[in-house]
Amino acid sequence: MQEKVLILDFGSQFTQLIARRVRELNIYIEIFPYNSRNFNITNYKAVILSGSPCSVTGKEVLHPDLTKIKGKKPILAICYGAQYLANFFGGKVGNSNTREYGRANLSFIAKDNSLFKGIKNNSQVWMSHSDTIIDLPTNTKKIASTNDVENAGFKFDNEDTYAIQFHPEVYHTTDGKLLLKNFLVNIANIKQSWTSNSFVSTTVKNLQNKIGNDKVVLGLSGGVDSTVAAVLLDKAIGKNLFCIFVDNGLLRKDEFKSVLAQYQNMGLNVKGVNASARFLSALKGISDPELKRKAIGKTFIAVFDDEAQQIKKVKWLAQGTIYPDVIESVSITGGPSATIKSHHNVGGLPEHMQLKVVEPLRMLFKDEVRRIGKSLGIDAILLGRHPFPGPGLGIRILGDVTKEKVEILQNVDAIFVNGLKKWNLYHDVWQAGAMLLPVNSVGVMGDERTYEKVVVLRAVSSTDGMTADWVNLPYKFLQEISNKIINNVKGVNRVVYDISSKPPATIEWE
């Protein structure tokens, strides 16, 4: 069995980052709320206590049950986790005289301490806290300090329980990955055996045991997640997987035909359904972005249901749910975890379908999904595609959606994206696209006055879409693309470039 690590999450903004860093060490890790009862501690070789926006000295302290963990499993407590151990095991935590955020340097490291093996004094760490540990808990010794934080790290005597005030998971902690490795590999004795190939092998066997000879239906979107999920399932159950790829009329130019052909060349049992007219009819006259999303979702459900009903004796619905979707559906205040993404990429499915759900990627992060896809031999072009919103161009056309507006935006988008590829800029951008604004502007073409549409080009860099920066594309590139769009797309006379980051803006405009 795969050796596992458990993170007890207290609501830190960095919790997912801890998991990603551990996965980079080829060690499997899972995240649960600090108060969850949905895990068996005997299945984990080590436990990490996360940070939190809360204070251990506040009115609503987050109390984990550590009776089966502390002294029995190796523990690494980070920030709030460290303060919790200090405050409730004989020490004292109080408000710091100076709030310490950002870079700091270790001024003291205890000699012969396994957690800091190979880490030298003055190593940079990242702090993010307003409380500080005033007195250490009983039966502990200090193992690290910074210039401003005396008790930056401590260890309990006679047990592998370590606590640190800084965040080893952020890039700014220069030796953070080494510290995590020291804890997990050297102290907890966990094997670094979780790889893409091992995941594929284990997952295929589990899918075969779980599904047997049952039939499975999967809605393909053309994106990375659903594609990798489909190939994994195809490897496990072959032709018992029935894929449905719906053209909602809001995809990129020629995308339906090209992606469908790719799926068919991959040997997937896939049916393409052109429902463009049905979606455009459902969107007629709707301008509000949320109403548009609901109309698109409701129509997809109807189309998917119609097609699924034609497949006899289907028992399973497969989804490309990934770990961030699972984590974000869990509340540290005790809210329930949703096993199925409430939107199913578009919205809930009809109850009468009564399908069991299978989600082969639900424990993977986005970058891991791409690595799994590479292990499965999926074309790099499919794996490297930019993210694309589920409602497609429907939320990139501000205002009401018509067939004419879709065609304009498809042509603009194609010129922009193909230009990025031609200039070898495509892989420097995390996501790119164009927006059609609900305004006209005055222009001059051929000595004549024009009054036509304005389009916005958007290109951002990001790792997970939670934050994003606009990409500083070369002026010559933007000049070339602007000229091409205005000269070749009838109905557009002005092109602008969006230079806002997320936050405060969002990646999409609706």
Tokens for 327, please give them. Answer: 């984590």
Instruction: Determine contact, residues 135/169, Cβ cutoff 8 Å.
Output: no
Q: How far apart (Å, rounded) are the C-alpha atoms in residues 97 and 132?
A: 9
Q: How far apart (Å, rounded) are the C-alpha atoms in residues 269 and 50?
A: 43
- Three-state SS at 250: coil
Neighbouring-strand partners of residue 434: 457
Neighbouring-strand partners of residue 93: 133
Given 3, 79, 129, 307, the catalytic residue: 79
Residue with tokens 């003055």: 122
- Length of the chain in terms of residues written: 510
Q: How far apart (Å, rounded) are the C-alpha atoms in residues 188 and 185?
A: 6
Given 3, 100, 167, 452, the catalytic residue: 167
> Backbone dihedral region of 212: left (phi > 0), alpha (psi from -120 to 50 degrees) or beta?
left
Tokens for 398, please give them. Answer: 């501000």
Residue with tokens 């890039």: 171
Given 3, 100, 129, 169, the catalytic residue: 169
Q: How far apart (Å, rounded) are the C-alpha atoms in residues 153 and 104?
A: 14
Instruction: Determine contact, residues 492/453, Cβ cutoff 8 Å.
Output: yes
Residues 6+ apart with CB under 8 A from 257: none
Q: Among this protein's residues, is 167 annotated catalytic?
A: yes
Say if strands 153-156 and 4-9 run parallel, antiparallel, or are unpaired: unpaired
Catalytically active residues, by annotation = 79, 167, 169
